[in-house]
Amino acid sequence: MKLTGAQIIIECLLEQGVDTVFGYPGGAVLNLYDAIYEYRSKIRHIITAHEQGAAHAADGYARATGKTGVCIATSGPGATNLVTGIATAHMDSIPMVAITGNVAVPSLGLDSFQEVDITGITMPVTKYNFIIKDVSELADTLRRAFEIATTGRPGPVLVDIPKDVTAAACEYTRKEIVKPDNYYSLSADEEYRQVADLIAASKKPFLYTGGGVISSGAAEEMAKFAELVDAPVSSSLMGQGGFNNRDSRYIGMLGMHGTVVSSKAVSDCDLFIGIGTRFSDRVIGDIVSFAPKAKIVHIDIDPAEINKNIHVDHQLVGDVRCVLDRLNELVPPQDHTEWLRQIDAWKEEFPLHVAEDYGDQVTPQYVLETLDELTHGDAVITTEVGQHQMWAAQYYDFKEPRQFITSGGLGTMGYGLGASMGAQVGRPDKQVINIAGDGSFHMNCNELVTAYKHNIPIVELLFNNSVLGMVRQWQRLFYGKRFSQTTLERDTDYMKLAEAYHIPSYRITKKSEVREVLQKALRHDTPVLVECVIDRDINVLPMVPAGAAIDKPILDIEIDD
């Protein structure tokens, strides 16, 4: 049948099983939005307050569901407003397709109104991108975009479509899409046998999980592997939920704000197996002193990550689920009772740092522990970036994958509210809570109008300390307590702001109020805002300074001002 380019775009989205797109209309995508109106009974469009919010919502949708998120923007500033969201998805390997409009093909390169070379701009932060100048190439290019976004290591793909291409017509034939099979390994049998032999010879193995465990759907295989190896398990920020935090083998995060137990274990282990991780600088710290007694094995789907940040002794390249399946067949059950006894002793000696007694003042640790209890650890938690992000990772015990949604690699303030809406739309069966600091909240609070307009029942849990807490913490430790531009004191009335957006709100100023207010907020079936007023000098601990040895964390910060 003959369709316009705009209609072909929608038909291709339906081919891919897309049920929701996030975006903002404009001149270069008017034809596409006319098709969205035509197909409104088949595909849901959520208009955000800002294009960046659309990108973050598509990203959050993808992380919560495992599907490919889709966002749409017009040319020029509409397209450039997507860039931070695209870069966020790129750094964390999130499958997303961003569709942008552009000026008509004859006007390209003439500095036309709202023209920008968005494929050139996004080349470093996309897995691939396209500009389509012929409507006959449109359907196959869109199909290719979705295939690239989800094949191998996932990532964002941008498709730029000039306005006249969306207006032109050509023949379209619907295709049944076969989803790419990522279940493969590139490593030889001998490499698997070598790793299995290392495991059998190890007395003190250490398992470290990253986001690849989640994106490959390997949580079940990971749990079996940990049981077979009989080893402690630590996770990266992106790996939270890939292994049940409530399992006795779990020892907390590893890295800059990881637990003392994990830093001691990695320093004493004789075998370190990194699973679906890229060995971020925030994790390994000083490379020379990282896992000094251990043979290091790296399992990852992307060969480019092997030996990039740290030298490894053995590698297994492939989909994490496939690799773990093969290892689970090769590795006989191990017994490391003595090693795990030592781990338990460290857990007893070095519990996760708890803030000093603040009396009836609110502490984020208590709020998050109470939230975990009230939600039974089943909620989807999204975050902005800063101290609150680390507290959420430390004090909420994630049971399963896709519960923790955060900007790990890029560290994007303003990410969480958009992501929470995408997550809630993708998982309406889940309670979704966005953990924010007041600094991040001011970057994206306009998206409250999106939550209200579309009745997306997220809980916005705002920690208000009137400072940029994480930056202030660094200034205290490394910049002589010169708190340059980090004391905000904006005096925003968050209750009135929520009221302006027709959103119910609560304010917590005492520890004794926490449980009752959270219970009320969690009962809402509309978006709700909860402000928690906390002390500006509560810090995130432990903390390993950037580039320092991971076994020398800071456990206390003196406050004398």
Q: What is the mean pLDDT of residues 503-528?
A: 98
Residue 474 has pLDDT above 90, yes or no: yes
- The second-level CATH assignment, the architecture, of 364-533 is 3-Layer(aba) Sandwich (3.40)
Give the burial class of 178: count Cβ atoms within 10 A of its Cβ; 0-12 exposed, 13-18 middle, 19 or more buried.
Answer: exposed
Cβ-contact 1, 172 below 8 angstroms: yes
- Is 424 marked active-site? no
**Does residue 329 carry a catalytic annotation?**
no
pTM attached to this predicted model: 0.97
pLDDT tens readout for residues 185-227: 999 999 999 999 999 999 999 999 999 999 999 999 999 999 9
Q: Nearest to residue 421, comparing CAs of 461, 387, 459, 367?
A: 459
- For the chain, the residue count is 561
Confidence of residue 180 (pLDDT cuts 50, 70, 90): confident
483 Ramachandran zone, left/alpha/beta (phi>0; psi -120 to 50): beta
Whether 189-349 and 2-171 are alike in CATH topology: the answer is yes
Written as one string, the DSSP assignment of 200-259 is HH-SSEEEEE-HHHHHTT-HHHHHHHHHHHT--EEE-STTTTSS-TTSTTEEEE-STT--
| pLDDT tens digits, 228-267 | 999 999 999 999 999 999 999 999 999 999 999 999 999 9
CA atoms within 13 A on the CB side of 364: 30
Supply the mean pLDDT for the chain: 96
Is 114 among the residues known to form the active site? yes
In the set 15, 67, 114, 334, the catalytic residue is: 114
Assess whether pLDDT exceeds 70 at residue 274: yes
Classified as helix, coil or strand, 458 is coil
The span from the CA of 151 to the CA of 192, in Å, is 23
- Write the Ramachandran bin of 302: left for phi over 0, alpha for psi from -120 to 50, otherwise beta: beta
Q: Does domain 189-349 have CATH number 3.40.50.1220?
A: yes
Percent of the chain scored above 70 by pLDDT? Answer: 99
- Percent of the chain clearing pLDDT 90 (strictly above): 95
pLDDT at 353 over 70: no
**Residue of 127, 163, 264, 295 marked catalytic:** 163
User: For residue 517, what are the contacts with CB-CB under 8 A and spacing of at least 6?
Assistant: 506, 508, 530
pLDDT (0 to 100) of residue 356:
61
pLDDT at 359: 85
Q: Does the annotation count 470 as an active-site position?
A: yes
Across the range 326-339, mean pLDDT stands at: 98
> CATH fold of 2-171, please?
Rossmann fold (3.40.50)
Q: Which of 238, 390, 470, 543 is catalytic?
A: 470
- Structure tokens belonging to residue 170: 């050509």
Active site (annotated) includes residue 443:
no
Q: What is the pLDDT of residue 520?
A: 98
Q: Nearest CA to 296 among 327, 273, 276? A: 273
Which of these ranges, 279-293, 353-367, 463-477, has the smallest mean pLDDT?
353-367
Tokens (6 digits) for 190: 């001998």
- The radius of gyration computed from the CA coordinates of the chain, to the nearest angstrom, equals 24
Whether residue 372 is predicted with pLDDT greater than 60 in this model: the reply is: yes
Q: What confidence tens digit (pLDDT) does each residue in 378-391 have? A: 999 999 999 999 99
**Which pLDDT value is given to residue 506?**
98
Active-site annotation holder among 7, 11, 16, 51: 51
The domain limits of the chain are 2-171, 189-349, 364-533
Give mean pLDDT, residues 64-81. 98
List phi, psi (to 5°) of 551. -90, 10
Q: What is the mean pLDDT of residues 369-376?
A: 97
On the question of a cis peptide bond just before residue 542, with omega within 30 degrees of 0, the verdict is yes
| pLDDT band at 354; cut points 50, 70, 90 | low
pLDDT tens by residue, 88-125: 999 999 999 999 999 999 999 999 999 999 999 999 99
